[in-house]
A = this chain, B = another copy of it.
């Protein structure tokens, strides 16, 4: 199944059993979604539940909040992360706070989904990643799907939950193939150990997980070590237990992320390790992230602005050599 099909199936199954579930967003209905995630749903569930909205992101999320208050379970799609900035007021001032401010009286069973990240030459207003911002918001659950199985299960759980969930996808993952084990639900709050290893913990999420996995054979060969690769999946709350066990085992930590280095999400992970697992660390941790520049259009510059498998391998090997590996 493709990643986008897994997402589609999760939504479809929820819509089939609960008529309170609706989707809304630009072109999610008749068009089937820009990345075809909602393909076919309008035919099954009608336009009243597959809502094509105007280009008004503030309202897309703001309406979803109101729908949730009114008893629906909306799934709002924002076409690209950059446009979600227009909805930050509704995501942060409203969705993340109403449950708390009302002392639990208001519940917001809603999901906001968007793809993010560098695709191919979409330039600065269409290529960014905002998990670093939105994972800093108490009251908002943030999940990032790197994996087809997780995409299916986590999105389904997100729809079933009574809290607002920000569900992050990546533009380059929609056509990724993978198996979905429909019968084995997973806990979306848990990180996934993509590969076990004993000498180095590499923490990543979203599309970078694949790039890390591409880089790992080189790293293992060149350094003569074995890497443990962790896909965080739940960016907020963080599955500290899984991180802790791995770091304690390997004593070494690298975090790989696509967002910009300064203030990037990985800082929280490294800071957690430094604060809580300092004495378990045998070497300085390393962060690999995007450069601190808006994403340029030109392809070589664009690729130079983010981690790639080659750069990941090279940087980790270099670091490993000067850090006792």
Residues from chain B with Cβ under 8 Å of A82 in the complex = 92-93
29 sample A-B contacts, Cβ–Cβ < 8 Å, listed by A number: A82-B92, A82-B93, A85-B93, A86-B88, A88-B88, A92-B128, A100-B124, A101-B123, A101-B125, A101-B294, A132-B133, A133-B133, A133-B136, A136-B259, A138-B262, A138-B291, A138-B292, A138-B294, A266-B271, A267-B270, A268-B271, A270-B275, A274-B274, A274-B281, A274-B284, A275-B285, A278-B283, A278-B284, A279-B284
Question: CA–CA, A137 to B137, complex, Å?
Answer: 17
Say whether A264 faces chain B, with CB atoms less than 8 Å apart: yes
Residues from chain B with Cβ under 8 Å of A292 in the complex = 138
Name the residue on B nearest A129 (C-beta): B136
Knowing that A86-B89, A133-B133, A136-B260 are A-B contacts, what are 5 other residue pairs whose CB atoms are under 8 Å apart, sorted by A's residue number? A100-B294, A133-B136, A274-B281, A274-B284, A279-B284
Question: CA–CA, A100 to B275, complex, Å?
Answer: 36
Q: Given B89, B128, B275, which contacts A85 in the complex, CB threshold below 8 Å? A: B89
Residues from chain B with Cβ under 8 Å of A259 in the complex = 136
CB atoms of B294 and A135 under 8 A apart: no
Question: CA–CA, A97 to B292, complex, Å?
Answer: 12
**Could you tell me the distance in whole angstroms from the C-beta of A138 to the nearest C-beta in chain B?**
4
Say whether A70 faces chain B, with CB atoms less than 8 Å apart: no
Q: Interface 1/0s, chain A 76-114, versus B by CB < 8 A?
A: 000000110110110011001100110000000000000
CB atoms of A263 and B85 under 8 A apart: no
Residues of A in contact (CB 8 Å), total 55
Q: Can you list the 10 inter-chain pairs with the closest CB atoms, starting with the nearest? A: A136-B263, A278-B284, A274-B274, A270-B271, A267-B271, A133-B133, A85-B88, A85-B89, A267-B267, A138-B292
CB atoms of B275 and A287 under 8 A apart: yes
Name the residue on B nearest A259 (C-beta): B136
Q: Which residues of A contact B (CB under 8 A)?
A: 58, 82-83, 85-86, 88-89, 92-93, 96-97, 100-101, 123-125, 128, 132-133, 135-139, 236-238, 259-260, 262-268, 270-271, 273-276, 278-279, 281, 283-287, 291-294, 296
